[in-house]
């Protein structure tokens, strides 16, 4: 049973006082991994907080649970499954690693065949999926594929036909590869979009459109039943959760567009973070320190949100990716053993890109009544070829915002006063490439895991998404078990 007594008693000094009292603070609260630097010094973590969180981690059995995760044990108890995303990058139970690597080999062989034009000439890749079957591949291709001229990839998730129409307007149906990504191969939005895309290919004159369909799924039988040829079904393990699945065949469009070597680098970067998480003492462990700060702000300071700002246009999709990873994993109200959670669950994750966000939402961060822990992410090497002044300004803005949030500025005029003492974390990459992005994403996964373990919740199920889905299906089937407001809306929209 986790013991929160010490954590709840924490009352650290103001950030500037923490710096004044400890000249070694930056070094003590920084973590360096190859190509990545994490600076937690502008959070309220200090020696007392670290001791309190280490005691909490011990009482919550973090070390044993971390071992269970990597050993492929049934950590997702409500669904009676392991959570084996780390096995995809070679860090897990030997059998699971072997299975994942055999599936990767199959994926690579299909990519080689596509490159050799075995499916005819392909220029466009239309990836259809939603949630974890879309956000990861979309992030990877957007972040790393900007110069890739091999294939033009578009990820379509929304069932709103306007989303698919954008792809139809941009792509040539005779040169398009249709990729259907769905762990279950039953998700309504994905199946409808896939049908419509196939019809568009057929009507657009594609010869043998079925011959250009690839399925990425943990339910291969369903994909075959749908009409995808077995040779073009790329399975992944049931024990890899949707929001943890970009390392599996769900990463197919990234591997195709960026090349297999880049995909392997992504996996290696993640594996490096896995080893760091598994083997490093908690006071020097990046995912653990990040989670300790998260929990200090959500549990002690009762912050309801946290915000991530990528000072790098290439990472503009990272906040949306993190929203699913963090909120679908840790937005829970029951503990892993079925009791009501008696404290706040995950913070609401939001964010955007810098410097744009400075001119939109930073007013509230500096002067609003909410305390919002902020995370800045930037890369030292620019991602553009313009005059270096662009990148210099970009980075200086990120650093200055963190400094200003912490320092604040008094003023007799309340409207012009900045309270300061507002926390931030900075993650600085040497360069944004497949390896550092892999490590960064794995860092977030493990941070979610530590948060969940200390809260005593299961980060690997997502029953909260089911009720709305069921009710939408019931509405489609003419179900009338709705309240008066919903019945009225249905009648106005469909005249039913």
Nearer CB in complex with ligand F6P: 187/451: 187
Q: Which is nearer to ligand F6P, 51 or 472 (CB)?
A: 472
Residue 18 or 218 with smaller CB distance to ligand F6P = 218
Distance in angstroms (rounded) separating the CA atoms of residues 384 and 316: 15
Q: Is 292 helix (H, G, I), strand (E, B) or coil?
A: helix
Q: Is the peptide bond before 424 cis (omega within 30 degrees of 0)?
A: no
Which among 273, 245, 38 is positioned nearest to 140, based on CA atoms?
Answer: 245
CA 5 to each of CA 54, 56, 108, 300: distance values in angstroms, whole numbers, following the listed order: 12, 9, 51, 11
The distance of closest approach from Cβ of residue 187 to ligand F6P in the complex, given in angstroms and rounded to an integer, is 3
Taking the complex as a whole, how short is the minimal distance between the CB of residue 473 and ligand F6P, in angstroms? 13
328 classed as catalytic:
yes
Q: CB-wise, 154 or 427, nearer to ligand F6P?
A: 154
Q: Which of 237, 235, 268 is nearest to 252 (CA)?
A: 235
**Residue with Cβ nearer ligand F6P (41 or 182):** 182
Tokens coding 304:
């309801």
CA distance 381 to 431: 5
CB of 197 to ligand F6P, least distance (A): 15
Coil/strand/helix, residue 352: strand
Q: Where are the alpha helices (DSSP H) in 280-379?
A: 286-295, 318-322, 329-330, 362-367
**Residue of 80, 359, 370, 466 with catalytic role:** 359
Query: Rounded to whole angstroms, how far apart are CA atoms 447 and 469?
Result: 29
- 312 vs 326 by CB, closer to ligand F6P: 326
Least Cα distance to 354 among 327, 384, 314, 386 occurs for 314
Contact of 184 with 152, CB cutoff 8 Å: no
Task: Please give the residue ranges that form the binding site for ligand F6P (CB under 6 A).
Answer: 130-133, 182-184, 187, 190, 242-243, 328, 462, 465
Least Å distance between CB 462 and ligand F6P? 5
Spot the catalytic one: 301, 407, 469, 473: 469
CB 181 within 8 A of CB 135: no
Phi, psi of 154, rounded to the nearest 5 degrees? -130, 135
Closest approach of ligand F6P to the CB of residue 157, in Å: 9
Q: Which CB, 193 or 425, lies closer to ligand F6P?
A: 193
115 as an active site residue: the answer is: no
Give CA–CA dist 72/91, Å, rounded.
Answer: 10
Active-site pick, 84, 91, 189, 328: 328
We find the least distance from the C-beta atom of residue 320 to ligand F6P, in angstroms, to be 13
Q: How far is the CB of 221 from ligand F6P (least distance, A)?
A: 14
Question: For residues 488 and 491, what is the distance between their CA atoms, to the nearest angstrom?
Answer: 5
Cβ(360)–Cβ(309) below 8 Å: no
Contact 247, 96 (CB under 8 A): no
370 is catalytic: no
Residues with a known catalytic role: 328, 359, 469
């Amino acid at each position: 049973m986790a013991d929160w007594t010490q954590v709840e008693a924490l009352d650290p000094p103001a950030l500037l006082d923490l710096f004044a009292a400890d000249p070694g603070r930056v070094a003590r609260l920084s973590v360096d991994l190859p190509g990545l630097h994490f600076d937690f010094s502008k959070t309220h973590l200090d020696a007392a907080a670290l001791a309190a969180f280490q005691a909490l981690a011990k009482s919550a059995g973090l070390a044993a649970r971390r071992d269970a995760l990597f050993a492929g044990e049934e950590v997702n108890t409500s669904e009676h499954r392991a959570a084996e995303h780390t096995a995809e990058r070679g860090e897990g139970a030997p059998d699971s690693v072997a299975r994942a690597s055999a599936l990767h080999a199959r994926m690579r062989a299909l990519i080689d065949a596509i490159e050799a034009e075995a499916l005819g000439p392909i220029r466009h890749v239309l990836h259809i999926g939603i949630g974890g079957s879309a956000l990861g591949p979309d992030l990877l291709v957007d972040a790393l594929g900007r110069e890739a001229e091999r294939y033009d990839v578009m990820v379509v998730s929304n069932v709103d036909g306007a989303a698919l129409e954008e792809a139809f307007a941009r792509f040539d149906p005779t040169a398009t590869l249709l990729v259907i990504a769905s762990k279950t191969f039953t998700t309504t939005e994905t199946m409808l979009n896939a049908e419509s895309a196939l019809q568009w290919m057929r009507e657009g004159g594609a010869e043998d459109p079925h011959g250009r369909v690839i399925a990425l799924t943990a339910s291969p039988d369903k994909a075959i039943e749908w009409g995808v040829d077995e040779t073009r079904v790329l399975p992944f393990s049931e024990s890899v959760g949707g929001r943890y699945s970009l390392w599996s065949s769900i990463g197919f469009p990234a591997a195709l567009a960026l090349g297999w070597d880049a995909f392997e680098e992504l996996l290696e970067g993640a594996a490096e973070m896995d080893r760091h998480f598994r083997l490093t003492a908690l006071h020097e462990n990046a995912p653990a320190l990040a989670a300790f700060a998260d929990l200090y702000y959500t549990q002690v300071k009762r912050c309801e949100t946290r915000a991530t700002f990528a000072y790098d246009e290439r990472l503009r999709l990272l906040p949306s990716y993190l929203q699913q990873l963090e909120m679908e994993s840790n937005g829970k109200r029951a503990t892993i053993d079925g009791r009501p959670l008696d404290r706040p669950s995950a913070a609401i994750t939001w964010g955007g890109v810098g410097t744009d966000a400075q001119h939109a939402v930073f007013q509230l961060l500096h002067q609003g009544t909410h305390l919002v822990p902020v995370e800045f992410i930037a890369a030292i090497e620019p991602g553009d070829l313009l005059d270096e002044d662009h990148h210099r300004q970009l980075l200086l803005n990120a650093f200055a915002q963190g400094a200003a949030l912490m320092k604040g500025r008094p003023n007799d005029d309340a409207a012009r006063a900045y309270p300061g003492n507002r926390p931030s974390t900075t993650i600085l990459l040497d360069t944004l490439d497949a390896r550092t992005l892999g490590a960064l994403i794995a860092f977030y996964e493990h941070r979610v895991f530590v948060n969940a373990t200390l809260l005593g919740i299961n980060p690997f199920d997502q029953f909260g998404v089911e009720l709305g889905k069921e009710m939408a299906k019931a509405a489609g089937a003419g179900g009338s078990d709705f309240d008066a407001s919903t019945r009225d809306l249905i009648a106005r929209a469909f005249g039913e």
